[in-house]
Chain A
Amino acid sequence: MSQTNISYKQPLLETPFHEKTREKCYAHDWHKWAGYKVVKQYTSAELEYTAIRNTAGVIDITPMHKYSVQGKDAKKFINKLITRNIDNIQPNQVVYALWCNEDGFLVDDGTVFCFDENNFRICSGERNLNWFEDTAIGFDVTIEDISHSIAALAFQGPLSCKILHMLNANKIENLKPFCFDQFTINNQEITISRTGFSGDLGYELWCDPSQAHEVWDALFSFNKDYKILAAGLDALDMVRVEAGFIVVNADLIAAEHALRPNRMRTPYELGLAWMVNLDKEFFTGKEALIKQKNKGVEKKLIGLDVQGDKPAVGSVLYDGSKKEIGIVTTAMWSPTLKSNIAMGYVNKEFIKLGSKILAEIYHPEELEYRKIWAQCKVVKKQFLNLERRNAVPALI
């Protein structure tokens, strides 16, 4: 593994796809992610974004943290860890999950893969081994960090299924959203899940590092006719905002990282109430979440439709009388929606859909800022809802 090549001269790890991604990374714009070097932009984020929404994009997500959870109590352990109930989870199913600390504040989110009753995998953006191990005390489970032993690609976009189909991935079009299975492409047996961070039709491909190059090359084998592109993390960030997905440590500070307690957030404040199952016998944070549910939130993460075309990056939000009522966490011009969108926190009086507020935008214009007071309307966080995302059979 490339891990062994780490030194002071080369302090970041290279993923098994590195040779391939380096070839295409004209911009030489790298991002540090969990000790790895991955591409931020290959050429331009907008171009790569366009590929994800119109053909397909290939994103190296190997640095994602992956934990294997095995043992007699594996399911029981996960049910204690996360806020949802996975009692009815079936093999080959994936669920999106949140886990909270005792005060109900989000520690992280991620996906839980079920291989069988006693064998699960959890993928997450932050490191969680410590939290998992402490949660597992008293349970018959073994938790192992397998991050480095699995190479992973996100393959997202309307043509993703078609290309996998052309690669003879058997009946890939019938794979339901949030399910996974074993498939053979280019003679490599790999795991493919219908999951992703784009809010579009898309898959995630999981393989052994030794298979990485074969898998990568396979995806690009029809590029004479179908222009799919390697996409960087900037493009991925654009599509996830349109889909209304949150990023821990961008839209909120993880409970284990926050220095200031009022920067942590509960699922209710994140608008993720549907992820919390208070009927479950026990999970960490249950008491606190019951209390908050009864009391109601003080502020909440909402979507904003912002007037004009200048992204409200970092804007402070005000009510009609210019009293401060919130802050924007992420903002962008959405090329697909042709609108100026943002996510942010507002006080409880303004969380109703349709509420009118003001954003104070400082738009940079060649060494000067133009200050804009933009009208905003509170809208659903899921700005873009594409039918093809969940269609079965998928588009081929």
Chain B
Amino acid sequence: MSKYDVIIIGGGHNGLVCASYLSKKGYKILILEKNEKLGGLVNCASSLNGFSSKILGDLNIKLPKLNYNSYIVALHSEQQHTILQENNNKINFIKSNANEENQKKFSSLINKYKIYASTLSNFMYEVPPRLKSGKSKDTWQLINMGWKIRKLGKKNMREFLRVIGLNIADDLEDNLRDNTLMGLLSHEAILGSNLGPRSPGSILSLLYKQAIQNGLFASEKYDFHQLIPSLEKNCLDQGVEIKNNANVKKIITTNNQATGVILDNEEKIEAGIIISNADPKTTYFDLLGTEPLDTDFIRRAKNIRTKGNIAKLTITLKENPLIINIEKEKMNAKFIYAPDINYIERAFNASKYNKYNENLCFEFHHCVNVIVANIYYVPYVKNNTHDKEKLIQHSINLLKPFISNLEIENAELITPNEIEETYNVMGGHWHHGDFEIDQMLMMRPFYGSAQYTTPIKNLYLCSAGTHPGGGITGINGRNAAKKIIRDKI
């Protein structure tokens, strides 16, 4: 008998959540994390927008809530910034160059998106149905999903079905005149995915994100730095064993059934169930290997799009930063620079050809004297050929015009290639795989591998690459655990 019932490969937040749910059912669990630090990509993130309160409740974890009102600042090159505030899911204008009519239209557009997003959010906590399974349960679920869309009413449903295939730029240009507001919404729609504002499906990506994180900007609700330590403590309290610096090299299978793993140092550990918190492509190609997979399956796995495009910049300043024309009490804001649709689209265009232009977009937060920024579009490039010094300089140049006291003590940047290397995430992709209509719901990560299962018995997936997708939500880990519990009764 092996010592463990379950091995989880990777101590990302989804792995930890999955372990917490399973350990509550009495499973004996071992988490193997490649790095010294747990949390995976959470270590790259700068804010905790969408973590599921439902999961916190289920696991009885109390994360300290932040008690300030968060602001969203859309930076403007002539320092005429737009300031919004999101409160209880409602967005107010604090300052804007847009006229009243535009502000009103902006609000009604957001309301429209909110209704659609809440339709989608019904699906987030469900294991998506299996296509073509022939089981009545799956059929019912599909019908149910259709019914929820139908419940929008005839007019809304028609509009919903019209809009989900569209690009966000078209919808924005139909409704708004203010460049900053259009840039801001575009930013939210495409961040983390391989889309530009004019890419079809960029509205869907916005709605979907909204549905997962339960709000548009989903400004920080919980103290970000407490998440991973709390999840870790929860696991340890329930007897989960966690091994750091343990890089899994291979998943062992016998007769198409997963039976254990082999570590880098050749140590072999067995367990009845193996769950991978690594992204699906890495899991199939590197950890499992293609040998026990059908050719068609390999083809679909190969075709998951996983090219990341976000670089993480961390700069330490001499003092706390000051932003020109922003009052001190609003400095806890999320700052976004995506000034207009065409600017973003141009940055995206370069990335399509694996280049970046100097006019990139970014968002950042600061914490005391440290600024953490997501810079995009910095494409994942084969062989990691970016000139890093130049890239850092370009990134700093982007921030410079807005910060009045930019005295830098230290600046670090990690490219998508480095994210890939450190966290073993193919392409360094935010979501472990693009977030488009063909890679969503029962098609996520791809047809034949949905529902957290794999063609290998007792091998499961729980990462951001599964339904509902990336971001720090914990939902993937929870859904996977539910699926496993259901399979094993």
Contacts and interface: CB of A to CB of B under 8 A. Distances in A.
Nearest to A73: B291
Contacts of A134: 295, 298-299, 302
Contacts of B266: none
Given A134-B302, A137-B285, A138-B285, A102 B290 contact: no
Given A102-B296, A284-B296, A137 B302 contact: yes
5 contacts: A135-B295, A137-B290, A138-B285, A138-B289, A139-B290
A82 B117 CA distance: 47
B298 A101 contact: no
Interface string B281-317: 0000100011110111111001000000000000000
A306 B256 CA distance: 47
Nearest to A104: B294
Interface of B: 256, 285, 289-292, 294-299, 302, 448, 455
Given A134-B299, A137-B302, A285 B285 contact: no
B47 to A, nearest CB: 38
Contact of A101 (B291, B295, B302, B455): B295
A131 interface: yes
B285 A101 contact: no
Contact of B295 (A76, A102, A287): A102
Given A80-B291, A282-B291, A282-B292, A135 B298 contact: yes
B293 to A, nearest CB: 8
B276 to A, nearest CB: 17
Contacts of B289: 138
Interface string A122-162: 00000000010011011100000000000000000000000
A137 B298 contact: yes
Contacts of B294: 101-102, 284-285, 287
Interface of A: 76, 80-81, 101-102, 131, 134-135, 137-139, 282, 284-285, 287
A81 B294 CA distance: 9
Which 10 pairs between the two chains have the least Cβ-Cβ distance?
A: A138-B290, A102-B294, A102-B296, A135-B295, A284-B294, A284-B295, A134-B299, A282-B292, A137-B290, A101-B296
A102 B291 contact: no
A81 B302 CA distance: 18
B283 to A, nearest CB: 13
Contact of A282 (B256, B298, B302): B256
Contacts of B291: 76, 80, 138-139, 282
B135 to A, nearest CB: 15
Nearest to B296: A102
Contacts of A285: 294
Contacts of A101: 294-296
